[in-house]
């Protein structure tokens, strides 16, 4: 009887814009090669929940008859993604129903749990060492969150995890679409302000919950906030009532339930870890990260602010992929960057400033399109950088 070391989570690759940042880039050895003995099919055996086994061990394969419901062994694709067919099983317990999404980490599949008779989402991580190790760190964070999230109302709940054919698989409760997915399918039409307020309340409570556990999410964005339910209603959109009834665009969808949960804890860090590297997806990245000042809990709150503006307007506030343009957009919305932040900027960020005291804009703009992208933004009334980034000595007092 053949065996394989086993040890079971979701994320959609839906945006056409390159919103995702690179994941952890530790120097890792190449992935464990597939077994050379191929004539017989292979399957794995679940460890289930409990202590995480030593995930540095290679997967173990041996010749023998397949377990009931297991598909024949087949090699991964060239990028280390698990190759599957709809209707096959991930271990005899989980039957694949559909593919929900794909990302740099791997794939997310909708599966039927034959033991609990429920539909779950399973994140299948690529069979590459750095992604396997990042997945094990994520599992540790998920289990820690689950122990403290009484009622499971703030963060997605991990159901199980296993290591199947050299792929870490994380089993989650199946939730509804992400807020970004809902916006996209709604033609990027904004949510009602009362609904945004409810989203904001839950989002801030969830972030505060993580911070109380000394955890920093570092990758908050609409893609990583999921509605609990997929149900929605269609209501008239008064902004489009002048259009033809045949168009159908004067209707928009609204979620039946405002309940949301956070997902994707693969980049979550603890308070005591190194905070000098680049974090957050570009559109939601805080200025202290760009300036190389080091970051902490406030970087999550900056992301929350950007998210709420996007939910109110239907589009990302800072639609850029370049640091100088990003800083110029921030100044257009919030006024000049505080001098104490500019003076403490990392050496790599000094090139963005003239004489070390003023942002090199628009002189440093790379194109007219870049200049127009900044000019079209509106100043946020009754708000400034000083309200959020007090000088360190003043903050201490």
Active-site annotation holder among 113, 163, 219, 264: 219
Last residue of one domain, picked from the residues 157, 174, 191: 174
Q: 159 with 197, same domain? A: no
Counting the structural domains of the chain, the total is: 2
**169 and 264 in a common domain:** no
Helices in the chain by DSSP H: which ranges? 129-148, 179-185, 193-212, 287-290, 298-313, 323-334, 339-343, 368-375, 385-388, 392-396
Q: Are residues 111 and 197 in the same domain?
A: no
Dist. CA 260–CA 239, nearest whole Å: 26
The pLDDT of residue 45 is 36
Pair 209, 345 in one domain = yes
- Give the CATH number for residue 20: 3.30.200.20
In-domain check, residue 243: yes
> Is 207 found in the same domain as 159?
no
Please identify, among 126, 145, 174, the residue that sits at the C-terminal boundary of a domain.
Answer: 174
Phi first, then psi, for residue 235 (nearest 5°) are -130, 155
Q: Is 270 helix (H, G, I), strand (E, B) or coil?
A: strand
CA distance 181 to 77: 27
Q: How, if at all, do strands 118-125 and 167-173 pair? A: antiparallel
- 77 lies in a domain? yes
Cα diameter, the chain: 72
**Is position 35 within any domain?**
no
Assess whether 72 and 161 both reside in one domain: yes
Residue 206 CA to residue 282 CA, distance in Å, equals 22
Q: Of all helices (H) and strands (E), which one includes residue 138?
A: helix 129-148
- DSSP string computed for 327-354: HHHHHHHH-SPPHHHHHT--GGGGGGEE
Instruction: Choose the final residue of a domain: 174, 203, 237.
Output: 174
Do 234 and 157 lie in one domain? The reply is: no
User: Which pLDDT score is estimated for 47?
Assistant: 35
**Contact of 335 with 384, CB cutoff 8 Å:** yes
Rounded Cα distance, 121 and 97, in Å: 10
Residues 295, 377: one domain? Answer: yes
Considering the domain architecture, whether residues 195 and 234 belong to the same structural domain is answered as yes
73-83 as b/e: b if 16+ CB within 10 A: beebeeebbbe
CB atoms within 10 A of CB 298: 14
Q: Going residue by residue through the chain, which has 397 residues, state the pLDDT in tens, using 9 for 90 and above.
A: 433 333 333 434 444 444 444 433 233 334 444 434 333 333 333 434 434 344 333 333 333 344 456 788 889 999 999 999 999 999 999 999 999 999 889 999 999 999 999 999 999 999 999 999 999 999 999 999 999 999 999 999 999 999 999 999 999 999 999 999 999 999 999 999 999 999 999 999 999 999 999 999 999 999 999 999 999 999 988 776 555 455 556 788 999 999 999 999 999 999 889 898 999 999 999 999 999 999 999 999 999 999 999 999 999 999 999 999 999 999 999 999 999 999 999 999 999 999 878 999 999 999 999 999 999 999 988 778 888 888 776 554 4
3-class DSSP state of 118:
strand
Same domain, 17 and 139: yes
**Domain, as residue range, for 280:** 179-396
Residues 232, 122 share a domain = no
39 domain-assigned: no
Asked whether residue 34 is assigned to any structural domain, the reply reads: no
Beta bridge partners of 106: 125
- Known catalytic residue at 219: yes
Same domain, 204 and 165: no
């Amino acid at each position: 009887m053949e065996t394989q070391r086993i040890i079971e989570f979701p994320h959609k690759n839906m945006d056409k814009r390159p919103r995702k940042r690179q994941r952890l880039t530790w120097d890792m050895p190449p992935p464990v090669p597939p077994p050379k003995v191929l004539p017989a099919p292979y399957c794995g055996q679940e460890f289930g929940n409990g202590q995480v086994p030593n995930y540095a061990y290679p997967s173990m394969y041996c010749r023998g008859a397949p377990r009931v419901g297991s598909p024949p062994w087949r090699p991964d694709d060239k990028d280390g993604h698990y190759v599957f067919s709809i209707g096959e099983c991930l271990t005899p317990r989980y039957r694949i129903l559909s593919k929900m999404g794909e990302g740099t980490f791997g794939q997310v599949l909708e599966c039927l749990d034959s033991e609990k008779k429920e539909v779950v989402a399973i994140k299948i991580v690529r069979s590459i060492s750095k992604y396997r190790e990042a997945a094990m760190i994520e599992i540790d964070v998920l289990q820690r969150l689950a122990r403290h999230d009484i009622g499971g109302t703030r963060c997605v709940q991990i159901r199980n995890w296993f290591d199947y054919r050299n792929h870490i698989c994380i089993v989650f409760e199946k939730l509804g679409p992400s807020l970004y997915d809902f916006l996209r399918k709604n033609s990027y039409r904004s949510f009602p302000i009362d609904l945004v307020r409810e989203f904001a309340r839950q989002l801030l409570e969830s972030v505060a919950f993580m911070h109380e556990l000394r955890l920093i999410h570092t990758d908050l964005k609409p893609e990583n906030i999921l509605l609990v339910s997929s149900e929605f209603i269609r209501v008239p959109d008064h902004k489009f009532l002048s259009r033809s009834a045949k168009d159908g665009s004067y209707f928009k969808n609204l979620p039946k339930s405002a309940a949301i949960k956070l997902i994707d804890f693969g980049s979550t860090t603890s308070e005591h870890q190194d905070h000098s590297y680049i974090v957050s997806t570009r559109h939601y990245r805080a200025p202290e990260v760009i300036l190389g000042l080091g970051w902490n809990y406030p970087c999550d709150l900056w992301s929350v602010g950007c998210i709420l503006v996007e939910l109110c307007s239907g589009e990302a506030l800072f639609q850029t992929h370049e640091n100088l343009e990003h800083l110029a957009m921030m100044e257009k919305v919030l006024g000049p960057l505080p001098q104490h932040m500019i003076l403490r900027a990392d050496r790599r960020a000094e090139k963005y400033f003239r004489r070390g005291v003023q942002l090199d804009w628009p002189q440093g703009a790379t194109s007219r399109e870049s200049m127009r992208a900044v000019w079209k933004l509106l100043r946020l009334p009754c708000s400034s950088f000083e309200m959020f980034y007090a000088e360190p000595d003043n903050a201490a007092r």
